[in-house]
Amino acid sequence: MKVLFELYIQQFKTTLATMFAYRASLLIWTIGQVLEPLVYLIVWSLVSTASGGSVGGYTANQFAAYFIILMLVNQVTYTWVMYVFEYRIREGTFSSTLLKPVHPIHSDIADNVSSKLITTPFMILVAVVLTALFHPSLSPTIWAIALLFPALVLAFAIRFLLEWTLAQSAFWTTRVGAVNQIYFVLMLFLSGQFAPLTLFPFPVQIVSYILPFRWLISYPVELVSGKLTLNEAFIGLGVQVAWLLVSYVLFRIVWRAGVKIYSAVGA
């Protein structure tokens, strides 16, 4: 544990220095994190207004609250490993990573957390501005606020492990762009990023309950939005814990199998 702690401290320092060196790239990435929920916020608010004031039980102000919270939840839980893992395999840079005495996932965790430390203040500022512009309707309970932190931690852990596991398909296929696109389309619709899941047909809602996507983004958003009862909130935490265990087991199985057949394509 001491070695891992020192590793994370040094990785944080290195990553933070890198982030500050490439401020423009980081800013562009962060703006991308803002634009998507902002577009959905505007569209659904207009649809709600044109439909007589509400759609699926959401008023324009409630849509504003939903997508502003979603923007912040996505900021906390997103990872970028699926974008870079293929490059590591294809260019052979992963070989040097395997020579290190610790698992490469620790470096990625430190990188992701470091980037969030830098970009989250900007996202909070954007959320404040959007709140002033769109007047979201939000009144979370005390217990919902208390449960938000463990819900976000579990959501990040599940999403990170799932995406790290899926990214390892590059061990077998080298190019995983199609796999990534399928994953991101499913994430867009089944995690509530495109619209609240209650607006989808009932069969889609059932699928979202079974698959992990809802528990990565929609569940924390619904928690803060006041859409869940206390019992539903605890059930959600239980489902998150179950998916965390499943994600970890899958990660270990795929990692052991992938390393055995790994070959550095670009080396």
Q: Average pLDDT, stretch 15-41?
A: 78
Q: Is residue 267 included in any domain, yes or no?
A: no
Q: Is residue 96 included in any domain, yes or no?
A: yes
Q: Is residue 98 included in any domain, yes or no?
A: yes
Give dist(CA 196, CA 185) in Å, integer: 15
pLDDT at residue 230 in the model: 93
Q: Which segment of 12-26, 119-133, 236-250 scores lowest on mean pLDDT?
A: 12-26
Q: Which has the higher per-residue pLDDT, 233 or 116?
A: 233
Residues 40-59 have pLDDT tens digits of 999 998 888 888 878 888 89
**Could you tell me the pLDDT band of residue 21, with boundaries at 50, 70 and 90?**
low
Q: Is residue 266 included in any domain, yes or no?
A: no
Tell me the whole-structure pTM to 2 decimals.
0.89
Question: In the predicted model, is pLDDT for residue 79 greater than 70?
Answer: yes
Share of the chain above pLDDT 70, in %: 94
Give dist(CA 181, CA 86) in Å, integer: 13
Q: Is residue 40 included in any domain, yes or no?
A: yes
Q: Average pLDDT, stretch 191-200?
A: 93
Q: Average pLDDT, stretch 222-234?
A: 92
Residues 145-189 have pLDDT tens digits of 999 999 999 999 999 999 999 999 988 887 788 888 899 999 999
Owning domain of residue 53: 2-261
**Contact, 224 vs 145, CB < 8 A?**
yes
Q: Is residue 70 included in any domain, yes or no?
A: yes
Q: Is residue 178 included in any domain, yes or no?
A: yes
Q: Is residue 115 included in any domain, yes or no?
A: yes
**Contact, 82 vs 167, CB < 8 A?**
yes
Q: Average pLDDT, stretch 131-158?
A: 93
Domain count, the chain: 1
